[in-house]
Each structure stands twice: as C-alpha cells, then as structure tokens.
Structure 1
Amino acid sequence: MQYKPNRLIGIFLLFVLSYATAQENIGQREKVKITSPLIDQQDQVTFNLFAPEAKEVFVQGNWNDKKQEMKKVDGVWTLTTEALQSDLYLYSFIVDQVKIQDPLNIYQMRDVNTNFSYFITGGNQSKAYTINDVAHGTVSKRWYASPTLGTTRRMTVYTPPNYEEGKQKYPVLYLLHGMGGDEEAWETLGRATQILDNLIAEGKVKPMIVVMPNGHTSNQAAPGESAKGLYPVEFMLPDVGTSDMERSFIDIIQFVESNYRVKKEKASRAIAGLSMGGSHTLFISSYLNNYFDYVGLFSAAFRLRANNESPVYTEFESNLERQKKNGYKLYWIGMGKTDFLYKIGEDYRKKLDAIQMPYTYRESEGGHTWSNWRLYLTEFLPQLF
C-alpha cells in the first residue's frame, strides 16, 4: 500500500512533538509521561506508544512469529507479553502499516539493512549478554592489507582484559558472520564482547583474542565505513559462493599474527561461524587443513554456489580427509530443530560419518536465529584451548 508523504510526515511529527526531550526542549513538560518497554520481575514486557491519531498499532518481535495488536487507552497504545525466556529480543512497531522503531527506547541495533529496538530480559542465559561490573576487553576496528584480493579491508578485534599492560601471548578465535552481515554483526547482534568479558571474569573461558572479519569480500567494511560511500545494503552480494573469502583468509591470519601477541600454532587457533560464516568455516578449515584445532559450525550452510570450480570446493573431500588425518581437538556442530538449513546440516553430518570424522553435535530448540547463535557461542567458548 502506498502512502502520501503528508501522512508519513504526520506520523513522524506526532512522535517528535509528543516526545521531544533533547537539549533544545529542556524545561518543556510532557502532557503524557510513559515508558517503553517495561520489564517486570516475571519477564513480562509492556510496550507503550503515544499515538492518539493512529488507527491501528502492532508490535512485531522475534519472540513471536506473528505481529501482536496493541490496544489504545487515552491515546496510548499498549501491549503486555507473556513471560519471555532469558534472551535478547528485537522488535518494531507497525503504525497504520508503517514500521518504526520504539521512539521511547534509545537502544537500537542494525541487522543487515533494518534497524530494530531491543531489550534484554533477566535470567541466567541473558546474564552473559549484559554489561556487568567486570574487567573489560578492548574492541578495535583494524584495517589490514589483503594481497590475495588486492585491497584493504576492515575487521573487528577483541583483545582480553589487561592485554595492553601485559606481555603474554594469547590463542585466537576467528569468528565469522552470516550472509548480509559484516565485521560488526558478532559484536552487536551476537553480543560477543559482552559474552567474552563475562565468561572470562567467571573463569569459564580462557582469555583469548577474537577476530571478527568482514566475510563479504564485495565490501571493504560495514555500511558507511569505507570509500564505497553510503549505498543500499543488500543481503545477497556477488561474492557469495565465489571462494574469495576462503582463499584470502590466510591474509587475515598473517595480519593478526604479525600485529598481535598471539600463539602461532594450530593448538592455539580456533575458527567458528554462523550460516554463511559456517560455510566459510568448514571450507576454510579444510582448505587450511593443518591450521585449526577447534572448529565451530553454527547453523552452517554448505556450498553456496553450485557452479563454482574453485579448488576450495572441487577438492573439498580430499581436503576434509587431510583435515581428519592431521587431527584436531574439537569439531563442534550446532543446529536448531526448526532451522531451514536442518536437512543440509543432516546431510553434512552423514558425510562426516561416512569418512568416520569425529564431531560433537548440539541440537537446540528454535531455528535460524541470533538467539541460537549467541547460545552456541556461550557453549563453544569454554571448550577452547
């Protein structure tokens, strides 16, 4: 359905005029004082939106497959969920068929090309995702040269607490995102840095360096962070399934081992990834078949382009046999019961079974979601090094 500009402007001005509380508006008294979202002790979440002229308003969140209709009382639309499980949740409002973020919630994050408001419920699992009063690592954005690709690219690097003050060397985990993502995905949506800080502080995880590269070789960096400029963000990019990421991964390893205090042996290298990053992981770890002692496949895709004749793919079976022969300490596979890649994962495990290649399999509830990938990371990390 098409909307005339004046209708969109009207919706926007409604929120701005009702809730403008920036510095220019200090001292102005709001007619209606509400908060959204509100989370009670039972982890029921209440959403509120002041939109007296709206005809219908829905909440659409990742805890439910369907949008939920809000009810209007004195111009305020409201909805309270059932008790939610311990997790981080994304949501939007749909106001007269226009999707917006919650104007009362300053906490937002981007997933591919869409912005969402978010909140975190209580409980043990989400405790790993929150920022707690513990020692914190450092997160940096590093540009590196990729001779294989003939360009410079950006990665996100987590160094553990006290890295800057010390002299010791650390093991490295290379953590790869899914299709449409970039070097910011695991840091934001995956809460990887909070998970690392918290599990290291609890003594459950050994201090390590975590490298989160950009797996889309079509882009040098996340949207708006390169000379490519401000461009429409796409989910499917030309590099998918070309083997460019796999062939150029050695450039990432060489940069990290030349610029950080790391242990430069197989026993101190791990690689893991979700979805497309899981595909990258299984092909990289077989292509560089004597580099990683720890491999993690989270809802992994398999071959993403059938007509590519790169040796990364055509020699995969023989590379996998070499990987098995060279040995490793952990080959970990996680998959949700309702994941759309479930059959692909099942077929891949049969391939591993056929060559008697050992692996650890973790099947969880749910599907192809960040909820599962964060869970897998919290379970995978304590098994490393």
Structure 2
Amino acid sequence: MKKNLLILVLLFSFIGIQAQENVDFSKKKEIISPEINADNTVTFRLDAKNAKEVKVQGDCIPEGGFLTKGEDEIWTLTTKKLNPELYSYSFYVDGVKAFDPNNAFLIRDVSTVVNVFLVGGGKADLYKVTDVPHGTVAKRWYHSPKLESTRRLTVYTPAGYENGKQKYPVLYLMHGAGGDENAWMELGRTAQIMDNLIAQGKAKPMIVVMTNGNADQTATPGESSEGFVKPIFMRPATFAGKTEAAFGDIIQFIEGNYRVKKEKAARAIAGLSMGGMHSLVISANYPNTFDYVGVFSSALLQPKDSQAAVYADFTAKLKAQRDNGYKLYWIGIGNSDFLFEKSNEYRKLLDSLQFKYEYHETSGGHTWSNWRDYLSEFAPLLFQ
C-alpha cells in the first residue's frame, strides 16, 4: 500500500514539473493599468489583440477616449494631467463594456460596477489609508418597531473607542437614491476621511452612523433575506415618508448601545441627494433633536400629492425648527447639478422664513467627488 502511494506521489510530482516546464514565464509580460505617472497623468493598457476598437470612459475622461494599439499589440492611452481625486472608469471593447483585468479594485454604485484608482495629493490625501490611529467599522442589525423589521446600519467608532470610557457625539449620515448602508463607506471613503481629519485635529472624535434609508429594504442587496436581487435606483417607498417617521428607532438603538452624548448639541444629521432630503425632513420633524444639519446636493423633493405625515405643514415645521434654535444648517451643491434649481427654490423658502444657513456652491454636478468634499468640509464644523 505504501509503495503504491509513493508511486502516485512521484507520478503527480512529475506531471506538475512537466506542466511548469510547458509555461514560459519569461514571455509572460506584466501589464500595469492604470499607471499613475509622476506628472499625474494616467496610462491605461489593455491586452485585446483581436479587438478593432478599445475605449475608456469614466470621470477621468468624461467624453471618453480611444486607446491606440502598439507594436506589442497592447492598447494604450495616457490622459492629460488629473487633479487629486478618486476616479472610476470602464473599458469598452468593440462597444462592449469590460473591466480592466489588470486592476483588481472595483466598486458598485447602485447596479453599476466600475474600476477605481486614486490620484493622491491635496484633498485626495484624506481618502487614503494613512499611518494614523484607525477607527472601527461595524455592521449592526437593529429592530425597528415602526418599520416592523430587523434592519442593518453601518457604524464608525473613532480610534480608542473600545478602550475608553468617554462619550461621543454622533453624526447620522444618509445615502442617496439607489444607495444603502454601504454607500458612504465604499464610495464616500468615510472611514478614511474621518480617521485623517481626527488625527490632524481638524475634526472632533465622533461616531458616524450610516443608515439604510430605503424603508422597504433591510440591508444592502445580496446581504439580506432578499438575496441576490438586482439593485434599483428608486425604491417604491422612496417618498412614502416611512424612513423619516421611523428615524427615532435608529436614535434609540444607537443611544442604547453606544457611549454617546444624548443631547441636541451632540447630534448631527446629513445626507446626499435623497439622503439630503431625508436629513432636512427628519430634522424638521424632530425640531429639538439636532443642532447640526447638512443638506448635500438636495432640496425638498417629495411629490406635492404625497400624503405622508412627515411632509404635512412643512413650513410650520421649519418655523418650529428655527425657533428651537440650532448651531449649523449647511447646504452644499454643484452649479451643474440637476437639482441646482430645486436647491435654489428651497433656499428661497428658507430666506422667506429668515431661517439662517450656510451655503456652499461648488463646480461640478451630482457626483461623489462633490459629496466627499462636502463631508470633508462639514465634519470639521461639528461639535465645536
């Protein structure tokens, strides 16, 4: 028996050696793509010998750019100098979308998956994992009595939370349509931004709670009992008012399970797009709960025929919020954002009520590039 086993071992070893000998590793050329050059230009490369046309498209090249096939049969394109930023892109090979096989880093935004890369320097250094004390990110399930479901949220606790006894203020951070409790972490780089701002002394240590703002969804697609369903942009209950009405369940869970300060001066709420609307509606319906409100690329967006109680008598609710007082109401939007005019309409309403706010108009549109900037600017203003 032992002799037979030895023969088998020697046989498979010989086959393995022969297999390796048949592979000429010296001829296997490593392809680097994307390559970030010293001058902040970026070179894309793709091995697609039989392709007739290769194009790259993304926020690094909004209009798209065609790669050129070289003598080595590798398709190549070098961009112009790029500003510091987290960029996304996809290849199109003969019109068919393809991932970059030499870039292992991908990210999902709603149902679209793209490759990503980072050009460092300036504001983008906040998006990097640097050699500073790091916070902890946890996925927590909680029960929402008002929504009659067990739901998930993401919680960032600052460095030192586990070993300390101090209580922290809380920022509740809301995603946009099509997003979920993962969006601000993966697309917004929240943990990296908070780690770096806190380490630099630019932001107070705080807990950041990233909720799932879809009332009919308990967790991100693929990680709930719904299974591997295709993510959709606009959920059926988006304007039903359920998310806003049930927000007290989240506050109760956080204040019952984390060392947090339980007063208005230690609570902030902010969000992008749909989450910006959630933030302004929630803060108006809980007028003595938040001292800090951030509205990113958003406005009062619910349909006029909505019957949800949270939208009823909204002007009166804003007056109550104004009279109760707050420390910061921060509005940020890009001047080419498709909600720019809606945002102006909302500001006119606030102006008519003498409702004070800080307004930040930037370039660009409805993009994560702006929303990461807004978080980076908003967080240092909190709990001062």
Normalising by structure 2, report the TM-score.
0.92
Matched, 1:278 2:287: no
Contact 1:53 1:75 in 2 (8 A): no
Matched, 1:33 2:30: yes
Q: 2:122 aligns with which of 121, 124, 131?
A: 124
Contact 2:61 2:79 in 1 (8 A): no
Matched, 1:224 2:222: yes
5 Å matches for 1:1-385? 29=25, 31-73=28-70, 74-385=72-383
Q: Distance in 2 between matches of 1:267 and 1:40?
A: 46
Q: Structure 1 residue 302: deviation in Å?
A: 2.0
RMSD: 1.4
Q: Distance in 2 between matches of 1:206 and 1:173?
A: 11
Q: Structure 1 residue 271: deviation in Å?
A: 0.2
Classify the secondary structure of the residue corresponding to 2:218: coil
Change (3 A) 1:230 1:132: same
Q: Which amino acid aligns with 2:63?
A: K
Question: Which shows bigger deviation, 287-296 or 56-65?
Answer: 56-65
Kindly provide the CA deviation profile for residues 19-42 of structure 1, in whole angstroms up to 9, marking residues without a partner as x.
Answer: xxxxx9997625332100101122
Q: Structure 1 residue 161: deviation in Å?
A: 0.1
Q: What is the number of equivalent residue pairs in this alignment? A: 362
Kindly provide the CA deviation profile for residues 79-134 of structure 1, in whole angstroms up to 9, marking residues without a partner as x.
Answer: 10001111100110001111111110011111110111101102111000000011
Contact 2:299 2:346 in 1 (8 A): no
Long gaps (5+) in structure 2: 1-18
Change (3 A) 1:287 1:38: same
Percent of matched pairs sharing the same residue: 55
Q: Distance in 1 between matches of 2:154 and 2:31?
A: 37
Q: Distance in 2 between matches of 1:328 and 1:33?
A: 57
Q: Distance in 1 between matches of 2:237 and 2:83?
A: 37
Q: Distance in 1 between matches of 2:267 and 2:142?
A: 19
Q: Which amino acid aligns with 1:263?
A: K
Q: Distance in 2 between matches of 1:141 and 1:56?
A: 43
Q: Which amino acid aligns with 1:54?
A: A
Long gaps (5+) in structure 1: 1-23
Normalising by structure 1, report the TM-score.
0.92
